[in-house]
Structure 1
């Protein structure tokens, strides 16, 4: 069956947005600035996102269907769509091309199910790994976020589905997100928390979702400095801004600040906005401007030529997309360490022991607004049984009785211990009184380990993590199993960094698979047995001590964000991480040689290196380009990521890879003169396997003159 999801109605086909605007009454214009029917649809379905939500822009009289929204970012949450690995896992691939392919797949499934607005590009910076929704973003580095987010957005909009980038801006604490005020100075805001949003906007993204929190005292949904001064006046954004869902707007004056649509229902953008206009408190021009933005964007995608003739339902979670989900799961897994245990040998592994409750659970991550109800989920245990045969794989114990599990471990050729978290411990914070369709969580998940956190007499799930270590029962399980079996491999399922200090010297190998999607269980044995080499790289820094990260208080209603976080903070404080940003092992070895760097005519930088697979196994290398800055009037990081590539090479094969650094990615923001500056002096250029690679290939490049880039 084929569903036509972008009905090319007469009003948008025959009239300009300006003519449509002239034909609308004030009441009709205001009605286009909010969603409708959300609470009715949710009450009927009893599940978040069961069907596309009307999200503004509709006018029945003129036959304009308007916006039909679905959330992301693991996939289209409508229906039974493909559940891809979470965004953090995809961030670990460092693969723009594959992320664009994921965006295309999401768009095809959106079109087939009546969706034309997709909230899938979450690029909030991971300031601290305890952030509950870390799994929804790509990592800690702004450059990396911008590159990956742009790829996903472009893939989605290639099939004329409006892409939403979110949550704008400075959103990185979950539990108090509705009332948190983040104080941040202009240089920090523009160098650390906004460049990735700018890059996605400049790549063509057509809509922005505002955040719940305040920035410098003003709620993001009515923050004129963010929504108008920066987003539109400085960056030239021409699309529309819509609020986050429920409590994203606090006043009809959001319309004057630059918020075009209130979702999900008109708490403020209905009668209250109309009355404010009639009372002369708000100009009708603000409404006209918002409606024009909505109509112009709708017309752009509705009348655009589609790259394929139809979008059939058969593609939704079909063979092509589920194969892509498995491929992403394979290429996102990060081999943290390996003491000559992996890859396992099929001929020598006659009996494989599997341990840990998470091995048996359908655990794809957050159960809130990003939950994807896929038609099936392959668990780690099921994937191993399918790969080796059920007789060769034994589920032999868990963290509820670690001593018994350890005793059983000695009887196996190898032991797989699956540990980490579920939606009960991290993710979107869902208070006990709110039902998003997560009825399965208390029964299936909250009894694991410490269970879901108890708040207010009921069981609340998700939210920010209080600890970055594994629960004590899981640590004990690892220690007991590894003591008895020298071929123990620990598989970590988590949304961001997990500290391993208590057991790193006990377990011979560890692989972080994140929340690996519906096909994660199928990917796992192929990674463990060497059908494919692990090639993911950490998109964050793993500390040796939790205090090495920035201050993080999930209960705070006020915080101040400074300049330092991530690998830049570890460099600044001369702190040795357990695993640096960009770290990840493969089953092969690579050399980088022959580095060349030059200035480009536009003032940017081009760097080339030769990459060779010097090992005996085909694998993917991920060379990363870091730039070190000359001395200037302000302090800057010791180095900053400014390029990365993915190079797949057979044993003995070599190739050249080239990086381009745009002028803006070389600049710092001078708040006094309100301009971006590129300093003169010697710039360090290095190509490395991680942010702390001692064998990085290095050169320098001289910039004889200072450059200014304007705002």
Structure 2
């Protein structure tokens, strides 16, 4: 069961307190132990399940029960227990997190394969994999098909490197842009989260098991181990859970529990979340995996609360769980249920692409590199363009590239679960140099503002690369990463650019009237007041290993930008819900993002769903396939879209619904669907978006059930959540 025969640490708390010399000694001991007692793994990919194919769900269940019937209590508990030693995990977190798969529940004697875990919302954390743009950037594409292809590529690369499980489908809602791990998710809207999360999950599960995380209400990072989140039932059901339910109903193999507390209880111990809602109400038949390190607090509460496997190390389970069963504090049928869930998924996924394990050459292959570049192109959001973009590449054109981030590899969080390590990454400066044609490119890091201002005055155009890095936001790892680089990350206390970026923007704007600012970051960054002083703004997010090439493609007009904001960008902090970086208690409610903006009448600087193009689009002739519908019906919402400009481009048509005299308080509008449509100049296409009436339901607190109001619904179609020219009609629901 254990990865190593001996362990030196007894708790993660002990690991957190080790100094440099102690860590060095631990590394030497671990190396010696591995040499003397190398791990013994099953030779084949799926052990006794190797070669299975074509089994029905009934046959899968029968086989799982047959295997379970022949197991001892100790063997059952072994299936539920992480195989990695505390020593190796402590070292990997500080040095080489998830370089190889983390094993859990392997049993060579019974031929039962492990859950072989690989992390990474932006790609595969195991060396050296394709680094895609961060999920919040990919959400800006509103491209489900592309996200499915990215999932397929990630699943391929995991399996090629010996894994069978992907822990990177993060669908936590971005309630506030200060959340340090907002970059790992798909934005502020439940519908968008569900659509993109489902697409990623389905692509991954062409190859390996996928995990959706973190269940539930996880959106504070610095105090993630202790913060207690409370909310009313409607907010839970309508805002924080719909995207999880969508992915569960679509066949998610696994769910990862969250660190935070929910209504006074750790999420990983919550029978309400894990047993009642997830397993009973939603019919989830996969398994629940603990988040690493501190998710399981004790033996009995976590198991009885619905957790199925403790990862990556056995701390509270293992022999402690065996003892808990024998003393009666945990029933053996609870153990049987967890093991059946694990066995069923191993049997199911042993049949996925059986016998066709991808070759190592599929990792960072040409196809995946091209996919990363396309994903970056589609992720960029053009927020402002006063006739400065696209740039010209003709002879005699002088373009200044300014800012220290222009020459820095900045592809997202470089630590913990997002630490994808590609073999290379193209910086903005490199990409622009390669594509500049006959234009002359000059670079200045902005350290000497007088010098930079002089260069800006002499340039035909200025492109500033500004923004954040993983030292500003991301997974909070103060203790483990306070070494030479001083990386901390975590939640943001400041939602604006750094002072040196602001001074650089000011210096360039005062000396040039063709300034474009390209902003890097993992969520909303407040751009007032400097946004008034520049002529172009592009939101880059963290664009992955091909980001520099993709940026050049867009800046020089080879590709017209098509991204739309998956988060709202406010004018100032007062337009956001309350957020406390060091909170130990948090109260969430029904309003955040564009829901809050609509409620309070806030004029956001750049609203959810907003994004410009190098061409123009016109929407007209909105209609619904039926004027009235019943609760079980699905109607089609149709609109004609015309490219009225002179360039080819892609528009993202967004469908929202509003409510006329509802029985309960509702948002002013909710996103219900979207479609990408690509058009040549002058071309018109009809876009059709399905709308299931049952998705218009609200959660009735008093009755504890979903209800569809028999009222008139506003059907709103536009190109952002605050489109003043949106088209509108109504649908009567009987």
TM-score, with structure 2 as normaliser: 0.90
**Aligned partners of 1:180, 1:68: CA distance in 2, in Å?**
30
Q: Is the 8 A contact 2:392 2:439 kept in 1?
A: no
1:497 correspondence with 2:524:
yes
Contact 2:654 2:720 in 1 (8 A): yes
Cα deviation for residue 11 of structure 1 reads 5.4
- Correspondence for 2:48: 10
Aligned match of 2:542: 515
Cα separation, 1, equivalents of 2:396 and 2:139: 32
**SS where residue 406 of structure 1 aligns?**
helix
**Contact 1:57–1:294 under 8 Å retained in 2:** no
Question: Which residue is equivalent to 2:283?
Answer: 236
Match of 1:258 in 2: 306
What SS class does the counterpart of residue 262 from structure 1 fall into? coil
Q: What is the CA-CA distance between 1:687 and the residue it aligns to?
A: 0.7
Name 1:454's counterpart in structure 2: none
* Inter-CA distance 304–344: structure 2 relative to 1 (3 Å threshold): closer
Q: Give the secondary-structure state (helix, strand or coil) at the position aligned to 1:101.
A: helix
Partner of 2:682: 652
Asked whether the equivalents of residues 600 and 606 of structure 1 are also in contact (C-alpha less than 8 Å), the reply is no
* 1:434 is the counterpart of 2:483: no
> What are the residue-to-residue correspondences of 1:371-450 with 2, within 5 Å?
371-388=419-436, 392-398=440-446, 400-431=447-478, 433-435=479-481, 442-443=484-485
Kept in 2: contact 1:171–1:211 (CA 8 A): yes
Decide whether aligned partners of structure 1 residues 11 and 545 sit closer, same or farther in structure 2, where only a CA change above 3 A counts: closer
Q: Supply the distance in 2 between the matched residues of 1:394 and 1:38 (Cα, whole angstroms).
A: 52
How many Å separate the matches in 2 of 1:155 and 1:393? 40
Alignment of 1:44-59 (within 5 A): 46-54=95-103, 56-59=104-107
Match of 1:604 in 2: 634
Structure 1 position 606, deviation (Å): 1.9
Is the contact made by 1:588 and 1:614 (CA closer than 8 Å) also made in structure 2? yes
1:42 CA displacement? 4.2
Aligned counterparts of 1:521 and 1:600: Cα–Cα separation in 2: 49
Distance (Å, rounded) in 2 between the aligned partners of 1:680 and 1:349: 65
Q: Cα offset for 1:396?
A: 1.9
Q: Work out whether residues 625 and 641 of structure 1, in 8 Å CA contact, stay in contact via their aligned partners in 2.
A: yes
SS at match of 2:187: coil
Distance across 1 between alignment mates of 2:643 and 2:159 = 41
Matching residue of 2:713: 683
Contact 1:349 1:414 (8 Å CA) reproduced: no
Report the count of equivalent residues.
677
Does structure 1 conserve the Cα–Cα contact (< 8 Å) formed by 2:216 and 2:241? yes
Summarize the alignment of residues 630-641 of structure 1 with structure 2, pairs less than 5 Å apart.
630-641=660-671
Counterpart residue number, 1:325: 372
- Summarize the alignment of residues 570-585 of structure 1 with structure 2, pairs less than 5 Å apart: 570-585=597-612
1:294 to 342, 364, 388: 342
C-alpha root-mean-square deviation of aligned residues, in Å? Answer: 1.8
Secondary structure of the structure 2 residue equivalent to 1:478: helix
Shift of 1:682: 1.1
What residue is the counterpart of 1:267 in the other structure?
315
- 1:553 is aligned, of 564, 580, 589, to 580
1:462 aligns with 2:489: yes
Quote the Cα distance in structure 2 between the aligned partners of 1:5 and 1:596: 59
User: 2:141 and 2:477 mapped to 1: Cα distance?
Assistant: 29
Partner residue of 1:209? 256
- Aligned 8 A contact 2:463 2:518 in 1: yes
Given that 2:396 and 2:439 are in contact with CA atoms closer than 8 Å, whether structure 1 keeps it comes out as no
Shift of 1:353: 1.0
Please name the residue that 2:327 is paired with. Answer: 279
Moved more, 297-306 or 513-522: 297-306
| Matched residue, 2:30 | none
Look up the match of 1:456.
Answer: none
Question: Which residues in structure 2 correspond to 1:25-174 (within 5 Å)?
Answer: 25-42=72-89, 46-54=95-103, 56-159=104-207, 161-174=208-221
Unaligned runs of at least 5 residues, structure 2: 1-41, 53-61
CA distance 1:509–1:348, change in 2 (3 Å):
farther
3-state secondary structure, aligned to 1:661 = strand
Between 190-199 and 664-673, report the one with greater CA deviation.
664-673
State the match for 1:472 in structure 2.
Answer: 499
TM-score (ref. length: structure 1): 0.93
Aligned match of 1:22 in 57, 60, 69?
69
Residue 513 of structure 2 is matched in structure 1 by 486
**Per-residue displacement from partner, 1:488-525 (whole Å, max 9, x unpaired)?**
11000000101111201111101011000000001111
Distance (whole Å) between structure 1 residues aligned to residue 74 and residue 561 of structure 2: 57
- Provide Cα deviations, 1:531-575, integer angstroms capped at 9, x if missing partner: 000110000111111121000001010011111111010110111
SS at match of 1:385: helix
- Bigger shift: 38-47 or 541-550? 38-47
Superposed CA deviations along residues 624-679 of structure 1, whole A, max 9, x for unmatched, are 00000122232100110000000011111111111112233200000110111111
Taking the aligned partners of 1:349 and 1:534, their CA distance within structure 2 comes to 26
Shift of 1:414: 1.3
